[in-house]
């Protein structure tokens, strides 16, 4: 059986194809009575547009904006960025123009500034991540006023109004890290390392992961100590000296977890102070982290398909917005992967 075309719908509704088009895209300038006739014909014929033909005929360009942290090559957000680029290629036929905006994770004002620019652009949709609660909230309200849909990538604020989200369950990722760190072990103390510059002003989207980590340890090893150690990554000397200081103060600690993605920054120290008894767990399969794993400095890495996640979000969000359909699932939790030395290549 052939599928229905605009032409069939038009005939059925007793109007012309142009009118059908106006109804489908709510372009107005159609009498209410006609609208209903057309809607009914569409339903009866179970019509849905042929996407190839739409893409071919449409000249419109759909502009989207994306606001994420600025980053260096090889860092977490760089990989996220890659995923967006890939996704963009997959939907070339949708004619979307994706504008990237970057903010400074140490500076809430930079977020506000970029958000303002985006508002001015009036894009068809906006993608961002959850960092500065206050600024993101303001932004989301303003977008709502303009009826611009918004999507969260990587992490989210559940009480805000967004259309679609894609990321892992951060609390659970922390639990998984703790499990791997301690599996088949007796544990008396663990170190939780946070590699952040400027820990005071820095946004802290990783808190839920740390909570998951801490809760797991507390549940399974109630007598274990949990030390939190801040490492300032600004110079390799400061990294080494902080690590040295901690290690000599707590020589009994054998279990180390780095709860953000920057394990690779302490790889040198781990190597220079190698201890076969030490167990190390990190997060995210950045090239630097994988390298450390191949060198035997890390036992497990909790990760996910980082570019796949942003790719997925973009392609779905764009399709939803363009064809004004709600997403099939709003909260897309991607699954977590576990990497060990045996499966960290490719």
Contacts of 184 (CB under 8 A, 6+ apart): none
When the beta carbons of 5 and 70 are compared against DNA, the nearer one is 5
When the beta carbons of 89 and 159 are compared against DNA, the nearer one is 89
Please report, as residue ranges, which positions from 86 to 105 form the binding site for its own copies (by CB under 8 A): 93
Binder of residue 343, out of its own copies, DNA, none (CB less than 5 to 8 A by kind):
its own copies
Q: Are 7 and 45 in contact (CB under 8 A)?
A: no
> Which residues lie near DNA (CB under 7 A)?
2, 5-7, 14-19, 21-22, 24-25, 28-34, 47, 49-50, 53-54, 56-60
Output the smallest distance, CB 317 to DNA, in A: 18
The phi, psi pair for 192, rounded to 5°, reads -110, 115
Binder of residue 296, out of its own copies, DNA, none (CB less than 5 to 8 A by kind):
none
Binder of residue 1, out of DNA, its own copies, none (CB less than 5 to 8 A by kind):
none
Output the smallest distance, CB 142 to its own copies, in A: 33
Tell me the H-state helices in the chain.
Answer: 6-13, 17-24, 32-45, 51-57, 76-90, 108-121, 133-145, 170-182, 207-220, 236-249, 267-272, 287-294, 306-322
Rounded distance, CA 290 to CA 15, Å? 62
Output the smallest distance, CB 91 to DNA, in A: 14
Size of the site for its own copies (CB under 8 A): 28
Residue among 229, 301, 296 nearest 261 (CA): 301
Binder of residue 185, out of its own copies, DNA, none (CB less than 5 to 8 A by kind):
its own copies
Residue 342 lies near its own copies (rule: CB under 8 A): yes
Stretch of residues binding its own copies (CB under 8 A), selected from 26-34, 96-104, 114-122, 171-179 = 171-179
Provide the β-strand partners of residue 231.
Answer: 195
Radius of gyration of the chain (CA): 25
Q: Which of 52, 235, 248, 325 binds its own copies (CB under 8 A)?
A: 52
Q: Which of 26, 46, 56, 73 binds its own copies (CB under 8 A)?
A: 56
Please state the separation of Cα 108 from the chain's center in Å. 19
Binder of residue 346, out of its own copies, DNA, none (CB less than 5 to 8 A by kind):
its own copies
Output the smallest distance, CB 40 to DNA, in A: 14
Q: Which of 119, 160, 247, 338 binds its own copies (CB under 8 A)?
A: 338
Give the count of alpha carbons within 13 A of 227, CB side only. Answer: 18
Counts of helices then strands in the chain (DSSP H, E): 13, 12
When the beta carbons of 25 and 93 are compared against its own copies, the nearer one is 93
The phi, psi pair for 42, rounded to 5°, reads -60, -45
Residue 50 lies near its own copies (rule: CB under 8 A): yes
The phi, psi pair for 134, rounded to 5°, reads -65, -50
Tell me the H-state helices in 46-97.
Answer: 51-57, 76-90
Binder of residue 21, out of DNA, its own copies, none (CB less than 5 to 8 A by kind):
DNA
Tokens matching residue 73:
């090559």
Residue 185 lies near its own copies (rule: CB under 8 A): yes
List interacting residues with its own copies (CB under 8 A): 50-53, 55-56, 93, 172, 175-176, 179-180, 183-185, 279, 299, 333, 335-343, 346
């Amino acid at each position: 059986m052939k599928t229905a075309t605009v032409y069939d719908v038009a005939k059925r509704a007793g109007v012309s194809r142009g009118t059908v088009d106006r109804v489908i895209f709510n372009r107005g300038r159609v009498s209410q009575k006609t609208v209903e006739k057309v809607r009914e014909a569409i339903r009866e014929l179970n019509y849905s547009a042929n996407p190839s033909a739409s893409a071919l005929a449409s000249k419109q360009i759909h502009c989207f904006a994306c606001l994420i942290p600025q980053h260096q090559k090889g860092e977490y957000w760089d990989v996220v960025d890659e995923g967006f680029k890939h996704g963009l290629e997959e939907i070339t036929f949708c004619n979307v123009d994706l504008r990237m905006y970057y903010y400074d994770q140490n500076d809430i004002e930079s977020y506000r500034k970029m958000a303002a620019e985006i508002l001015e652009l009036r894009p068809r949709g906006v993608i961002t991540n959850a960092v500065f609660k206050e600024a993101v909230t303001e932004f989301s309200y303003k977008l709502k006023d303009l009826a611009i849909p918004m999507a969260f990538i990587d992490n989210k604020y559940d009480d805000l109004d967004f259309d679609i989200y894609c990321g892992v369950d951060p609390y659970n990722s922390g639990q998984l890290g703790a499990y791997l760190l301690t599996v088949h072990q007796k544990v008396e103390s663990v170190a939780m390392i946070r590699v952040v510059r400027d820990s005071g002003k820095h946004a802290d989207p990783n808190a839920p992961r740390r909570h998951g980590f801490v809760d797991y340890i507390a549940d399974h090893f109630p007598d274990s100590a949990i030390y939190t150690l801040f490492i300032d990554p600004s110079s390799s000397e400061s990294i080494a000296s902080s690590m040295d200081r901690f290690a000599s103060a707590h020589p009994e600690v054998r279990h180390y977890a780095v709860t953000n993605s920057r394990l690779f920054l302490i790889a040198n120290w781990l190597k220079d102070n190698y201890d076969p008894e030490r167990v190390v767990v990190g997060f995210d399969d950045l090239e630097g982290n994988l390298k450390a794993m191949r060198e035997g400095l890390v036992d497990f890495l909790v990760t996910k398909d980082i570019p796949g996640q942003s790719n997925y979000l973009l392609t779905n969000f764009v399709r939803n917005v363009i064809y004004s359909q709600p997403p099939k699932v709003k909260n897309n939790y991607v699954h977590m992967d576990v990497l060990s030395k045996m499966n960290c290549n490719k």
